[in-house]
Structure 1
Amino acid sequence: MSDPALRSPRSLPALRSAFLDWARTDGLTWVYLFKALAAAFLALGIAMRLDLPQPRTAMTTVFIVMQPQSGAILAKSFYRIGGTLVGLVATLALVAVFAPQRELFLGALALWTGICTAGAARNRNFRSYGFLLAGYTAALIGIPAAQHPDTAFISALTRAAEVTLGVVCAGLVGALVFPQQASTQMRTTVRARFSAFVEYVAAALSGHVDRAQIERHNARFLAEIVGFEAMRSVAVFEGPESRGRGGRLARLNSEFMTASTRFHALHQLMNRLRAAGAQQALDALEPYFKELAPLLHTPGEPVLTSRDAAGSARKLEAFKAALPRRVREQRAVLCERPEFPLLDFDTASELLYRFVDDMHAYALTYASLAAATHERERTPERYEPKTNAVLTLVAGVRGAIVMALLSAFWIASAWPNGSMLVLNAAAVCALASSSPRPTRMAYQMALGTALATLIGFIVVFGVYPYIDGFPLLCAALAPALALGIWMTTRPKLVGYGAGYCIFFCVLAGPDNLVHYDPAGYANDALALILSMAASALAFAVLLPPSTPWLRRHLVSDLRRQVVWACQAPLARVRSRFESRARDLAFQAHALMEHDPAEQRRALAWLIAVLEVGHAVIDLRRELGALPSDARYAKTMPWRRAITASAKALTALFARPTDARLDAALAANFDAIAATQQALAAFAPPREDRHRLQRILSYLHFVRTALIDPQSPLARYAGEARRDGAAPA
């Protein structure tokens, strides 16, 4: 008998809920699996119908560009087609110039591959595929074409047709069959991040966040910023609605970086004042924090939608409008108390105003997403992810060396399948270079290819002879391909799945006329696995990313962003400084995945760099806005003192030492004293006086950051500096 509970109406909601949960998780995996199979078989069938020379290339292309989201497919396809066309042009040029001399041709090809590998490493996200394909296509077409130059042009055209067919099939199936939009995920991400950030700010203002939580939040914010930009670059391919909001989404990411940095600076300053026992300043500022927290987040009423953000923006605007007058009135009262730490109060109140202003802009941009068009779309500030130049150069040189060595092995051994060894190494080097752990990526692809070799052997020699017709061919390939597709949906198995899917098609993908050659199959498989093993060995031996020197270089480059903030033109300097510093920290954080202590050290340097860099940029803007008056000229003693302080600061962050920290603190102390003397020596107009006070506040904040015992600079300080004493 059936269980009455299963027939009970009360069980229906539970079953419905369970089904919806399955549909949102594993159900999406099955949908993607069937879509990938459908696109692969569609490309294979059309290529066979058109009698293209290698239908397997079209099917391989599908697995290279296929992604769960339609926007990601279109983005990857766009860059793949562009890279393929560039690679075709390079192929024809190399074949025309170097084809008669195999050694020169392979040397030029190795150089070209190294350049493309460096480009793939430098430009992350899907842009790297354009460079990857430019190098791989030159090897894929150029090596066979160099052996038969008279057919190079036809080979290039047919290969372009096969690749384009695979791209079109993947794009059509991804966009038309149960499409998953990146823009939908972006809306969820924007909502969750705004809500989480205002909750974090409210909790921190209430004193409910410890240092460990701050570190976790900073690490999470770092990953979210990079992931958000990757998602945004994909969403713009999905349609006019996403493109119409692309500028605002980029601006939202930039404003989130600025607001989070400003709030962290404010929170750090309050912690420093608390540690220094500046209770009077804390008591004077506490009422503002108590008022601000409910404006951002009311317990039990999270800020979720753009309408909620618009309400927060209105409250913040009113608070911001009244804040300067209230601070001035309170400051006038505090001036009557000689013992009151007025500079601490000025610095904290200025940071508070700047944070409210940045948070107001962030809320306005979030609220503007409800409209299809908005004026905030016209002035986007973009996050600019770029891999460190030294890491890029290392990746390019490594790729060129691998190609050159394998080419030399091919020439010396006269191995008939050496061409497969060389051209596949170009793809693996470029693909793995964009991974934070390239050695593991190449190793996983090699194991995936080994598995594909075994299953492909069974399919080719055990199944193909017994089937007839395209439907049976699809039925025979579906189980083998489904295994690889499933692996690509699991984060820990992505490398295995990529190697399996791509090289199963290379080894066992059917042609119009199947050739049963076990020896040739074994040689191709051996060439593929050896090329990946050689690539993995190169990543492990030739300056691997885990090399301490490379890690130190990344942290050093991160510190040098303060130098850049001190010297770069002021136009767009803040957004570029933010994105460059955070991107370098993200790269360092990824390379130090298995070294938590080094990760914390890199995050500590990021915090120090962002705090000081922001203060320097604000200081430079205030100086640049001073009127043309002899009292504010750059030749005045107080201006020269600020310039000397900036030079000492750049020297410190370029290469920290005990002596340079002492010099930076001394120069900062002199700049503060000189500016205070200038402010007392004459009676500037009200706006100029406020500007000079803000300049003092930024100088003082830089000082608090330099003497912070939690800062990574503390290791260069003596006992007196750790206690916050002024330099002699």
Structure 2
Amino acid sequence: MNTSVSPATADATAPQSFGRQLHDAAADWWQTDFPNWIYVFKMVFAGLLALGIGYALDLESPRSGLITVFIVMQPQSGMILAKSFYRVIGTLVGSVAVVVFVGLFAQTPELFLLATACWIGLCTFGSALNRNFRSYGFVLSGYTVALIGIPAALNPALTFDSVMTRVTEITVGIVCAGVVSALVFPQASAPGLVRVIRGRFTAFVDLIGSTLGGSADRKALEAANARFVGDIIGLEALRSSAIFEDPEIRLRSGRLTRMNSEFMALSTRVHGLHQLMNRLHDSRNPSAQLVIDAISPYFREVQPLLTRSGGEPVMTAVDAADAALKLESYKRELPRRVRATRNAHAQKLDDDAVLDFDTASELLYRVIEELHAYTLTYASLVQRRHEREQWEHAYAPKTSMVTASVAGARAAITLIGLSTFWILSGWPSGDVAALNAAAFCAITSAAPDPAKATRTVTMGVALAVVLGYFYTFHIVPQLDGFWMLAAALTPVLMLAVLLTTRPTLAGYGLGICIFFPFVAVPDNLAHFNAAGYLNESIALMVSLIVTTGAFMVLLPPTTNWTVRHLEKQLRKQVVQACFARLAHLTLQFESGTRDLMHQITMLTGSRPALRKDAFGWMFATLEIGHAVIELRTELHGIRSGNPGLLSPAAYAALDRLRETLPALFEQPTPATLAAVLDANNRTIAEVQQAIGPHYRERSERHRLQRTLSYLHFIRTALLDPQSPLQPMHQGGTALAATSGVNHAA
């Protein structure tokens, strides 16, 4: 037996030298851990800089600047600028509210606390309705009233001074965070945004190739679309941050928003086409295979349009310009070629198969059209200024008014409860408990699991209290000057910031970052009062325990009820598709549906069954809702240009369909599904009768055929065996709907 080993195999199996292993370990550390350590040093340096400036300016509480740095600091400078901008706005709005409330209710603390609770509830409600750092601005305007207003209400004569001091301290922290982030090892948001755009375009090109080429199954496509939901939200967040730091991004902001909109529309089209072809593969109609054979060659022609001359996929915006030219030529020739294919197979296809072919070819044309637009926008990013920048349709988030109201009510009830206990008990540190509970109830309300987030922060605060006691009464009295204080604080602050870079430990680090300076860093006029320290520490712990309890008891966001409610809101997007104004409706529908799904995804991390059900409804909602919008747009053109093209009976049938669809998605039952299928079949029959065997101009016939294609696609989506509507099919409903001449009822 020959046991010789080739040199290549020997090199691969030989152990690496110690030097090589050390080199690989160092390279890995440089790529993964070094950026975290840079972030730690920057954050601590910026915080101590703000603290030193606060002492130098003789501010009342220099630690507020240090805490502000820890609150606004982010890895990228664009995120810091965005968060700082909204923090300033929120603080100013909250400061105005403080002056108003103190002026109105300073003599009646019960009314002041009630007004403060209502304000915080309202701001928490506004925070839930918004996204990104704009949401943070609402949070700030809410708890600024608690942080400044409650102490100011105890000393009304010092209200204006307290407000100005607070704003100055926050401004110092914001400026220090921004300057350090921009000058010390700056990390811009723009390169990350470019990587996301390029990576998403490349991934989608691959997906289109595998989907239209027939190598992607349903599960792979749905998994890709699930990832795209997060990508869409993430790109919008990155764009909204990057415009604060980079003028080049600001010049392209409209095109980036446009790309997100076009990407949503395109991904829905591709998914719809893939689902239609899946249904044809599963069809019992013998002519279905003829349709597949006739339309599939066009699918295989798309992938080469999105590759470079060397065979590599299109990646950069420069490459996209060449792909856009090829797509434009292909799009121009596609209708003529499809008509020729249809005519060549017309004698072999029955009425059902003709409808399938027309629907598939219409979807294919729409895919190419959307892909061309998306590629053009991507290619335009090379130029600083471009006509495609003129895009005013912003991403439109969608939040349930019920869940937002619950979040606002929860924050208000928590503050009212603690304030009542404070007033009735006469607790000296009750104000600290009340204002801290209000602040954290507002801050953590946007977390996927706020009760868990508050629990981890509580553990961090407990550690901060212990360390703070040791520092306050054993270390700080021994220090002389700011530099010794900074040196003493640095180890704890570095540890706390390092913990925030670890996802599983971030809550503990946040608790230490915010509350260790609160209890351990002395004011300009230092006080060493052990009884007062213990009272405030107990107040902090009580406030966080009460906040955690509020999130666990007062309709927790992570309950199945909340997920089901959001799922119902997602289904109700079909109502918007049926009745909302057509202007900008596609973008509002697409972004709202995906935003709701993103919220459900955040809440169902440990409940895959709920998430799977919600994704099923998202795909059904997108498919049918998008087809309804296209149908309404086509009908609007018919009504305004040639109303006699359809008979009064056809218009009545279309109105009936538009009435039954919302009822189905609001209350999915066998009865509502049967009503929609009946209305859809009747409408198809009326439109087919309008087309007729008699002569019509090509434009009229094409318009009616497009209308018929949208109706047929809605019907196939309703009958999809993989749809969440499938359990609603009664006995022979599905079979009856699929049989019959020309789909007539």
Give the secondary-structure state (helix, strand or coil) at the position aligned to 1:28.
helix
Identify which of 312, 325, 337 aligns with 2:348. 337
Counting only pairs closer than 5 Å after superposition, residues 667-682 of structure 1 correspond to structure 2 as: 667-680=679-692
CA contact (8 A) 2:307 2:314 kept: yes
Identify which of 360, 368, 373 aligns with 1:348. 360
The answer to whether the aligner puts 1:715 opposite 2:727 as a matched pair is yes
The answer to whether the aligner puts 1:165 opposite 2:188 as a matched pair is no
Deviation of 1:632 (Å): 3.2
Deviation of 1:336 (Å): 2.9
Letter of the 2:228 partner, please give it: F
Q: For residues 206 and 289 of structure 1, what CA distance do their matches in structure 2 show?
A: 6
> Structure 1 99/439 Cα, relative in aligned 2: closer, same or farther at 3 Å?
same
Counting only pairs closer than 5 Å after superposition, residues 124-273 of structure 1 correspond to structure 2 as: 124-273=131-280
The answer to whether the aligner puts 1:629 opposite 2:642 as a matched pair is yes
Identify which of 74, 89, 100 aligns with 2:81. 74
The answer to whether the aligner puts 1:615 opposite 2:627 as a matched pair is yes
Query: 2:292 aligns to what?
Result: 282
CA contact (8 A) 1:334 1:342 kept: no
Q: What TM-score comes out, normalization by structure 1 length? A: 0.96
CA contact (8 A) 1:707 1:721 kept: no
Query: 2:10 aligns to what?
Result: none
Q: For residues 153 and 259 of structure 1, what CA distance do their matches in structure 2 show?
A: 54
Deviation of 1:605 (Å): 0.4
Identify which of 667, 674, 686 aligns with 1:655. 667
Letter of the 2:303 partner, please give it: A
The answer to whether the aligner puts 1:313 opposite 2:316 as a matched pair is no
CA contact (8 A) 2:306 2:313 kept: no
Superposed CA offset, 1:311-338 (max 9, x none):
2222211211110000111122222335
Superposed CA offset, 1:649-671 (max 9, x none):
12111211111100000000000
Identify which of 503, 508, 511 aligns with 1:496. 508
Query: 2:302 aligns to what?
Result: 292
Identify which of 324, 339, 342 aligns with 2:335. 324
> Structure 1 296/514 Cα, relative in aligned 2: closer, same or farther at 3 Å?
same
Counting only pairs closer than 5 Å after superposition, residues 350-499 of structure 1 correspond to structure 2 as: 350-499=362-511
Q: For residues 20 and 336 of structure 2, what CA distance do their matches in structure 1 show?
A: 57
Q: For residues 385 and 660 of structure 1, what CA distance do their matches in structure 2 show?
A: 29
Deviation of 1:29 (Å): 0.5
Query: 2:3 aligns to what?
Result: none
Q: For residues 345 and 214 of structure 1, what CA distance do their matches in structure 2 show?
A: 22
Select between 136-145 and 662-671 the one with higher mean Cα deviation: 136-145
Identify which of 647, 655, 676 aligns with 1:664. 676
Deviation of 1:301 (Å): 1.2
CA contact (8 A) 2:645 2:700 kept: no
CA contact (8 A) 1:444 1:496 kept: yes
Select between 215-224 and 292-301 the one with higher mean Cα deviation: 292-301
Counting only pairs closer than 5 Å after superposition, residues 598-613 of structure 1 correspond to structure 2 as: 598-613=610-625
State the aligned residue count: 718
CA contact (8 A) 2:410 2:554 kept: yes
Query: 1:41 aligns to what?
Result: 48
Q: For residues 79 and 701 of structure 1, what CA distance do their matches in structure 2 show?
A: 45
Q: For residues 106 and 411 of structure 1, what CA distance do their matches in structure 2 show?
A: 10
> Structure 1 547/12 Cα, relative in aligned 2: closer, same or farther at 3 Å?
closer
Superposed CA offset, 1:201-227 (max 9, x none):
211222222233223212211111111
Structure 1 runs (4+) greater than 6 angstroms displaced: 10-17
Deviation of 1:595 (Å): 0.9
Letter of the 1:632 partner, please give it: L
Superposed CA offset, 1:76-110 (max 9, x none):
00000000000000001000111101111111111
Give the secondary-structure state (helix, strand or coil) at the position aligned to 1:126.
helix
Letter of the 1:629 partner, please give it: N
CA contact (8 A) 2:190 2:246 kept: no
CA contact (8 A) 1:248 1:380 kept: no
Superposed CA offset, 1:603-627 (max 9, x none):
0100000000110111111111125
Q: For residues 12 and 472 of structure 1, what CA distance do their matches in structure 2 show?
A: 41
Give the secondary-structure state (helix, strand or coil) at the position aligned to 2:214.
coil
Cα RMSD of the aligned pairs, angstroms, is 1.8
Superposed CA offset, 1:396-430 (max 9, x none):
00110000000001011111000000001111011
Q: For residues 450 and 212 of structure 1, what CA distance do their matches in structure 2 show?
A: 46
Select between 54-63 and 640-649 the one with higher mean Cα deviation: 640-649
Letter of the 2:230 partner, please give it: A
Select between 231-240 and 681-690 the one with higher mean Cα deviation: 681-690
CA contact (8 A) 2:320 2:376 kept: yes
Letter of the 2:320 partner, please give it: A
Query: 2:702 aligns to what?
Result: 690
Deviation of 1:295 (Å): 1.9
Deviation of 1:297 (Å): 4.5
Superposed CA offset, 1:512-570 (max 9, x none):
23221222112211111111111111111111112222222111110110110111111
Could you list the runs of 5+ residues in structure 2 that have no partner in the other structure? 1-16
CA contact (8 A) 2:47 2:173 kept: yes
Deviation of 1:373 (Å): 1.4
Could you list the runs of 5+ residues in structure 1 that have no partner in the other structure? 1-9
CA contact (8 A) 1:124 1:434 kept: no
Superposed CA offset, 1:48-91 (max 9, x none):
00100000111111111011100000000000000000000000
Q: What TM-score comes out, normalization by structure 2 length? A: 0.94
Letter of the 1:428 partner, please give it: F
Query: 1:4 aligns to what?
Result: none
CA contact (8 A) 2:645 2:690 kept: no
Query: 1:551 aligns to what?
Result: 563
Q: For residues 646 and 280 of structure 1, what CA distance do their matches in structure 2 show?
A: 32
